[in-house]
């Protein structure tokens, strides 16, 4: 059985995903409620795994709860905090729980988080993790040949940053990810449609990898400047920062900017991935303004 995400990516239509951040505590009700409100407009929900090296509920736990709520989750798996045995165990467990989508990430370094004294593991990185998913799907045991108790059934994707200037290096890295088993790409935030179009034409399309373009909700000019300062690879242009600064209602302006990007990017890529950190309830407004009132599941 294919996931909703896989069916959509392999169809002729567009694909919409949204990011859900797990709670910083043991009560998942708010995160689940936010996802449920988006159920008619979004194909799948990407659940972050210790994003920015900050403690939150495990992605695996929230993905299972979303699945029980009738939603299609995308399990983020970051290599930073677990050795290969733990990663292998989580992948086997995810498949057993019925979670089908997995986004394989290297993970943000611990120095950017709120517990910088933490010991980083990084036994794997994203390419080796993708290869591990592929092997488990084939029923290959990492030690003894064949998985005695059956293979996994996981649909794996990888991250990409269209803003990287080193084109040859970007192509080489994404070739490695595709060869390791990546079936789709989810990009970091993109603020320029020309950058996205160039990335698709020169990198993703030749590799035959469908792209979900990252659309990020900016809340103010101060927020945009902060992101440019602290997020590696972020390059929010001055035109957008000025537009937010001059607006009488920066929140609404940010929603409008994101909606414009959704409409623009859907003419370039297979779909979009919408991120609204700590403001997931705004994703509905973004998609409504972009003319996406419902999607075919």
Q: Which residues pair with 116 in a beta bridge?
A: none
Inside any domain, residue 284: yes
Q: With cut-offs at 50, 70 and 90, classify the pLDDT of residue 234.
A: confident
pLDDT score, position 296: 78
| 289 three-class SS | helix
pLDDT score, position 65: 98
Inside any domain, residue 252: yes
Contacts of 151 (CB under 8 A, 6+ apart): 136, 137, 138, 139
Q: With cut-offs at 50, 70 and 90, classify the pLDDT of residue 233.
A: confident
Split into its structural domains, the chain has a count of 1
DSSP structure string for 165-191: S-HHHHHHHHHHHHHHT---EEEEE--
Q: Which domain holds residue 177?
A: 4-289
Inside any domain, residue 294: no
Which CATH number belongs to the domain containing residue 72 in this structure?
Answer: 3.20.20.220
Among 19-23, 138-142, 148-152, 225-229, name the one with the lowest average pLDDT.
Answer: 225-229
Inside any domain, residue 295: no
Inside any domain, residue 297: no
Residue 297, pLDDT above cutoff 80: no
Q: What's the pTM?
A: 0.96
- Determine the number of helices (DSSP H) and then strands (DSSP E) in the chain: 12, 10
Inside any domain, residue 272: yes
Angstrom distance (rounded) from CA 66 to CA 43 = 13
Inside any domain, residue 225: yes
Inside any domain, residue 296: no
Contacts of 53 (CB under 8 A, 6+ apart): 80, 107, 108, 109, 110, 111, 112, 113, 114, 115, 116, 118
């Amino acid at each position: 059985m294919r996931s909703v995400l896989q069916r959509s990516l392999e169809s002729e239509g567009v694909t919409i995903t949204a990011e859900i951040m797990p709670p910083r505590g043991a009560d998942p009700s708010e995160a689940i409620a936010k996802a449920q409100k988006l159920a008619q407009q979004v194909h799948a929900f990407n659940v972050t795994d210790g994003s920015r090296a900050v403690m939150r509920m495990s992605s695996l736990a929230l993905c299972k709860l979303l699945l029980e709520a009738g939603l299609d989750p995308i399990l983020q798996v970051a290599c930073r905090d677990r050795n290969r045995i733990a990663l292998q165990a989580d992948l086997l467990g995810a498949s057993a729980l019925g979670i089908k989508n997995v986004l394989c990430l290297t993970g943000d370094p611990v120095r950017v988080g709120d517990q910088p004294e933490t010991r980083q593991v990084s036994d794997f990185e994203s390419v080796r993790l993708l290869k591990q998913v592929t092997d488990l799907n084939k029923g290959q045991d990492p030690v003894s040949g064949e998985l005695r108790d059956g293979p996994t059934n996981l649909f794996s994707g990888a991250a990409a940053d269209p803003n990287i200037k080193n084109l040859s290096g970007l192509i080489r890295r994404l070739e490695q990810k595709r060869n390791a088993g990546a079936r789709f790409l989810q990009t970091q935030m993109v603020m320029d449609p020309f950058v996205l179009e160039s990335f698709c034409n020169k990198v993703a399309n030749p590799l035959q990898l469908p792209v979900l373009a990252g659309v990020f909700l900016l809340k103010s000019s101060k927020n945009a400047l902060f992101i440019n300062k602290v997020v590696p690879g972020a390059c929010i242009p001055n035109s957008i920062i000025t537009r937010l600064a001059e607006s009488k209602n920066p929140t609404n302006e940010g929603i409008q900017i994101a909606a414009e990007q959704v409409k623009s990017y859907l003419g370039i890529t297979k779909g979009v991935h919408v991120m609204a950190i700590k403001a997931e309830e705004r994703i509905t407004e973004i998609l409504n303004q972009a003319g996406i009132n419902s999607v075919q599941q």
